[in-house]
A and B are shown apart, each in its own frame.
Chain A
Amino acid sequence: MAILAALVWASAVPAAAQAPEEKVIAGLSQTHVSITTDFSGSEIFIYGAIKRDAPVPKDWPLDVIVAVTGPLEPVIVRKKERKFGIWINDAGVTVDTAPSLYAVATTGPFRDIISFTDDFRYKVGIENLVHFIGETYDKEFKEGYPEALVRLRRASGIYFELIGAVKVIDETLFETRIRLPANLVEGDYRARIFLLRDKAVVDVFETSIEVRKVGLERWIYTMAQEQSALYGILSILVALTAGWLASAFFRLVFR
């Protein structure tokens, strides 16, 4: 019986990626993020366990990548050129897809734990998420634009990697914390947890995080978009009221 089990296990190893022997089960401390007026970012605690029927494989240590990405959207990137002695934006290049947020935590340096093939297949690394689509890719002309987008977004803190921030306990339990910045945009965010062995993805767990403006933020945003005339008038009324109140108040206080 033991021999049979060992045989089955041995034959299953090469096909690990197709029929995972190890499965990842994970949970998030929150799957809804509400943007309130005093929203200053949100920390998400991500934890999980590895479910397996066979003993822990010894040949390669277990690695985990936790990737939280915002909705993909096209972004216009412009480059400044000196014309007539001043720096002027060019017409701009539309990078077809770029996540509004890219927050990744790993057990180790990217290149040490995931192969190029799987990185590309599962679109884990930032360079595989920020790119042009199909025909629009014209290498010479658009060179440097996606890289600039990544650089700018890294600088503003909405793209970041936390290398070594995932803690694995006994090759079975793992946990990490990802702090989402305050400058979040609404949408459905993807949270993916990759389980890796020998630089190959063994299993993926995916869930979504809903990021929504609520309360006053929701009300103002919706009204500005949908009833823009009323919103404009209301803005003016608020301004006039504030101006009058200040005037009346100061007249009361100073005679």
Chain B
Amino acid sequence: MNIYLPIAEISVNAFLLLGLGGGVGFLSGVFGVGGGFLMTPLLIFIGIPPAVAVATEANQIVASSFSGVLAHWRRRTVDFKMGLVLLAGGLVGSAVGVQIFAYLRELGQVELLVSLSYVVFLGIVGAMMFIESIRALLQTKIGRPAPRRRHHWVHGLPFKMRFRASNLYISAIPPFLVGVLVGVLAAIMGVGGGFIMVPAMIYLLGMATTVVVGTSLFQIMFVTGATTLMHAMLNQTVDGILAVLLLLGGVVGAQIGVRIGPKLKAEQLRVLLALLVMVVGAKMGYDLVRTPDELFTMAWRGGGH
């Protein structure tokens, strides 16, 4: 069944969108990532204009992350204090990101911005996660617990705060900066930023792993909400019908993921996620370097006015 999208002004298959939403939502529930890093490229691939894909995907992530936050909240695995510090940074970053996005859209370089961000961030994060998770996997095989570094430079900074749920007493500056970075990415890549925030929380901040996913989703929910609003006001690129179809699939997928996630083997899952992240990054990188079949592109109707 095809459905006409009022903002993107194209007709696409509704079941395809529901399926995409479901699959990506499932990953979101399992890993605590928004799943936007998969969804946005997929939407662009099926012909949604990049500007619409990025803005609408932010809106979808609001739904899947809220659904996830509710589940984690009931299990008391959300560190609200840490979440608020991350969020403060996230809102600043998102406002900056939306402005950069609008500016580059005028120049016709949104596609390049999106692709480059994907290649750089997915490449780095994917490789880091891959190495870390392989190391963790080997260590559990030998039967030694992974050593957790208790002290690094992060602990020497001022504005120390106590984050009880995370079992931390650290400066508020690193989480704030992580939040800013994630906010910028949310706006220009149409992602929640969980794929960068979750590793940062574990390896950089040293948070207790139990609260990482819930806290990450908590921050993502608000940042993508703010991003949606700003894209809607500045670029008019949030497609209501596209969003509803994606989020219907997404929320259901996320709920299934949240329930299945804890039953799966965490280390192996992390290897898989790392591989997935790297594959998406490599694909985007390849497309930038490869000589395209068609050198010309048309600006989307809504673009550049």
Query: A residues engaging B (CB < 8 A)?
Result: 35-41, 73, 75-80, 82, 85-89, 91-92, 100, 144-145, 148-149, 151-153, 182-185, 213, 216-218, 220-221, 224-225, 228-229, 231-236, 238-240, 242-247, 249-250, 254
Contacts and interface: CB of A to CB of B under 8 A. Distances in A.
B11 interface: yes
Interface string B205-246: 000000000000000000001001111110010101101100
Contact of B299 (A41, A75, A239, A246): A75
B63 A148 contact: no
A244 B67 contact: yes
Interface string B23-63: 00000000000000000000000000000000000011011
B215 to A, nearest CB: 17
14 contacts: A38-B3, A76-B303, A76-B304, A78-B108, A185-B301, A231-B238, A235-B232, A235-B243, A236-B229, A239-B243, A242-B63, A242-B67, A244-B66, A247-B71
Contacts of A35: 4
A242 B244 CA distance: 9
A236 B297 contact: no
Contact of A80 (B238, B297, B304): B297
A157 to B, nearest CB: 11
B7 A85 contact: no
Contact of B240 (A73, A149, A235, A245): A235
Contacts of A218: 6
Given A79-B296, A89-B108, A144-B296, A183 B2 contact: no
A249 B256 CA distance: 11
A247 B67 contact: yes
Given A77-B298, A148-B296, A242-B248, A236 B2 contact: no
Contacts of A184: 9
Contacts of B241: 37, 216-217, 220
A126 B303 CA distance: 24
Contacts of A221: 6-7
Contacts of A213: 6
Interface stretch (B123-131, B171-179, B284-292): B284-292
A236 B62 contact: yes
Nearest to B73: A247
A89 B3 contact: no
Nearest to B10: A183
B2 A242 contact: no
Contact of A77 (B63, B109, B297): B297
B255 A38 contact: no
B251 A246 contact: yes
B295 interface: yes
B77 interface: no
A232 B3 contact: no
A126 to B, nearest CB: 15
Interface in B165-221: none
B267 interface: no
A224 B96 CA distance: 22
B297 A185 contact: no
B229 A229 contact: yes
Nearest to A231: B232
B247 A242 contact: yes
Contacts of B134: none
Given A38-B3, A182-B2, A232-B232, A240 B66 contact: yes
Given A79-B296, A86-B289, A145-B296, A232 B255 contact: no
B298 A243 contact: no
B228 A232 contact: yes
A76 B299 contact: yes
B11 A232 contact: no
Given A89-B111, A89-B112, A152 B294 contact: yes
